C-alpha cells in the first residue's frame, strides 16, 4: 500500500522517531522513501545515522517531495509551519497532523482541497503499543486514509473517530498512560510496603497491568466479566476491590478523563 510512496516528516522529535522505527520494522517502506526535516542539525544527524533515512533542514523541500506528509511538531509552532508549507503542498499529498488541539479547519483554510487527517496518538507508540485515533477531513476518503492507518498500526492500534470526539480521545487514551503510570507507581509502593524490593514490585505491578490489558483485548470480554473471574467468594481479590470502591478509585478515574477532556477543549479554543 505504501509501495513507491515518499513519506515526509516535518519535525524530527520523539513521535517522528517512533513512527519511523515502526514503519521500517514493519517493512512498509525502505529508508530512502523517508525524508525528515527539522531545525536541529544534530537531531537530523541522529535520525540519519540511526535509520539511514534522508534528512533536510528545508521543510518546503520535504513538503514538495512527500506523498504522505506528517506534521510532527509542537502545537505552539504549527501555525508557522502551515504558513511555510502551504504554498508548496500538492492536492495529491495526504497531510497528517498529530498536533493536539489544532482542528482540521485550521489546515484546510490554508490548504484548500488537500486531504487532511488529524491523529491523536499516545506515548506508548514509542514501544509499539500505542493507541491512535484518526479523524478524516473533507477530502480524506477512507481509501486515502488506509496507508496512514497502516503507518499507525505499525506502532499499535488505530481507530477512526469523528473530529468532535478528539478532545475525548485526548482525555482517555491521549492522557491515559499518565493514569496507568500513577497506578503502577501506587501498586509498586504497595509492593514495597508488603515486603518486596522496589525492582521486584515494579515488575509485579507493570506486568500485571500489561497482562490484564492483553486479556481484555485478546478475549473481547467485558472487563467486569474478567474481574469476576478473579474475584472468588470471600477471597483476596474481592477484598481488595472492596477497598478500591470504598475509596472512590473508579469515580476518580472517570473524573480524571472528564477533566482532561474539558481541559483539551479549553486549550483548543485558545
Residue 63 pLDDT exceeds 80: yes
Work out the average pLDDT over 90-107.
93
CA 235, 239, 245 angle in degrees (round to 5)?
145
CA atoms within 13 A on the CB side of 102: 25
Residue 270 pLDDT class (50, 70, 90 cuts): low
Mean predicted lDDT score pLDDT of the chain = 96
Structural domains for the chain: 7-163 (3.40.50.720), 174-268 (1.10.3730.10)
Residue 100 pLDDT class (50, 70, 90 cuts): confident
What is this structure's pTM? Answer: 0.92
214-232 pLDDT tens trace: 999 999 999 999 999 999 9
Residue 267 pLDDT exceeds 90: no
125-146 pLDDT tens trace: 999 999 999 999 999 999 999 9
Per-residue pLDDT at 185: 98
Per-residue pLDDT at 227: 97
70-93 pLDDT tens trace: 999 988 899 999 999 999 999 999
Amino acid at each position: 500500500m505504501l509501495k513507491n510512496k515518499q513519506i515526509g516528516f516535518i519535525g524530527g522529535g520523539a513521535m517522528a522517531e517512533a513512527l519511523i522505527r515502526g514503519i521500517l520494522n514493519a517493512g512498509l517502506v525502505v529508508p530512502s522513501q523517508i525524508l525528515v526535516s527539522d531545525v536541529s542539525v544534530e537531531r537530523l544527524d541522529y535520525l540519519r545515522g540511526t535509520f539511514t533515512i534522508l534528512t533536510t533542514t528545508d521543510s518546503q523541500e520535504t513538503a514538495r517531495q512527500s506523498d504522505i506528509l506528517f506534521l510532527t511538531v509542537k502545537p505552539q509552532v504549527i501555525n508557522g509551519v502551515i504558513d511555510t508549507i502551504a504554498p508548496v503542498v500538492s492536492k495529491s499529498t495526504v497531510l497528517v497532523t498529530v498536533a493536539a488541539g489544532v482542528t482540521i479547519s485550521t489546515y484546510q483554510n490554508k490548504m484548500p482541497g488537500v486531504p487532511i487527517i488529524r491523529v491523536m496518538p499516545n506515548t506508548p507508540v514509542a514501544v509499539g503499543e500505542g493507541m491512535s485515533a484518526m479523524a478524516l477531513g473533507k477530502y480524506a476518503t477512507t481509501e486515502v486514509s488506509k496507508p496512514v492507518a497502516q503507518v499507525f498500526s505499525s506502532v499499535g492500534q488505530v481507530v477512526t473517530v469523528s473530529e468532535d470526539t478528539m478532545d475525548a480521545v485526548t482525555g482517555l487514551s491521549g492522557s491515559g498512560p499518565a493514569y496507568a503510570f500513577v497506578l503502577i507507581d501506587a501498586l509498586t509502593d504497595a509492593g514495597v510496603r508488603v515486603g518486596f524490593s522496589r525492582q521486584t514490585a515494579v515488575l509485579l505491578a507493570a506486568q500485571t497491568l500489561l497482562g490484564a490489558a492483553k486479556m481484555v483485548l485478546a478475549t473481547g470480554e467485558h472487563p467486569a466479566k474478567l474481574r469476576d473471574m478473579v474475584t472468588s467468594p470471600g477471597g483476596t481479590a474481592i477484598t481488595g476491590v472492596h477497598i478500591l470502591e470504598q475509596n472512590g478509585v473508579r469515580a476518580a478515574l472517570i473524573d480524571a478523563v472528564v477533566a482532561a477532556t474539558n481541559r483539551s477543549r479549553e486549550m483548543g479554543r485558545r
